[in-house]
Amino acid sequence: MSEYRAVPLDWERLDPGEALRRSNAFLEHLRARRTVRMFSPDSVPAELVRNAVEAAGTAPSGAHQQPWTFVVVSDPELKRRMRAAAEEAERDFYDRRATPEWLDALRVLGTDFVKEHLTAAPYVIVVFEQVYGLGGDAKRKHYYAKESVGIAVGFLLAALHAAGLVALTHTPSPMGFLRELLGRPENERAFCVIPVGYPSREAVVPDLQRKALDEIAVFL
């Protein structure tokens, strides 16, 4: 069992003016982020993706257990198999399992069962939640695993955007096929699929507006 050990905090307090400048710049940068479904086949430097994944790994996690695995797929054949399995599941979802209310909510996004982004994007990052830890034959409980992985995905999206890349959060329904297809162990459960690359020249995005600050926050 690991014991508590402390080290000095490495931190610099910014001048208020510089802090506000950085804060405003970061906000404006993220305001420009959009979910993209139309990808260019142009190659992406692998280091950009590696850096983004490493940035995601700096996210806080319950009991510092870091219960995530990022599987970065670039192999065309593997992406083709992922797409085929995802489209099979999604066709059933759109045709049979989705409620009218759910389909109505999705209508503004213009989505359907066709998932071309899984083969068009040069990289597809499949994020897995480690539901519990494995140590030999013993299982180790993970605390707040889903919440921790969600935070890490947020870091990942911000890092990809900072690198000038576009991405999409895709959650095939169901996602169980991904664990077997990608050879992951029994303690891992697919959390989301993130195609990554540059937008195609013809890329368009839905005409959507984000909620204003006073609609999402309460300051007391």
Domain interval for residue 125: 36-200
pTM to 2 decimals?
Answer: 0.94
Question: pLDDT (tens digit, 9 = 90+) per residue, 181-208?
Answer: 999 999 999 999 999 999 999 999 999 9
Residue 169 domain-assigned? yes
Residue 30 domain-assigned? no
Q: What is the pLDDT of residue 209?
A: 94
Residue 208 domain-assigned? no
Question: pLDDT (tens digit, 9 = 90+) per residue, 108-136?
Answer: 888 888 999 999 999 999 999 999 998 77
Residue 215 domain-assigned? no
Q: Do 118 and 169 contact (CB within 8 A), yes or no?
A: no
Residue 132 domain-assigned? yes
Q: What is the pLDDT of residue 207?
A: 94
Domain CATH for 160 = 3.40.109.10
Residue 64 DSSP label: G
Question: pLDDT (tens digit, 9 = 90+) per residue, 46-76?
Answer: 999 999 999 999 999 999 999 999 999 999 9
Residue 20 domain-assigned? no
Instruction: Indicate the number of domains in the chain.
Output: 1
Residue 43 domain-assigned? yes
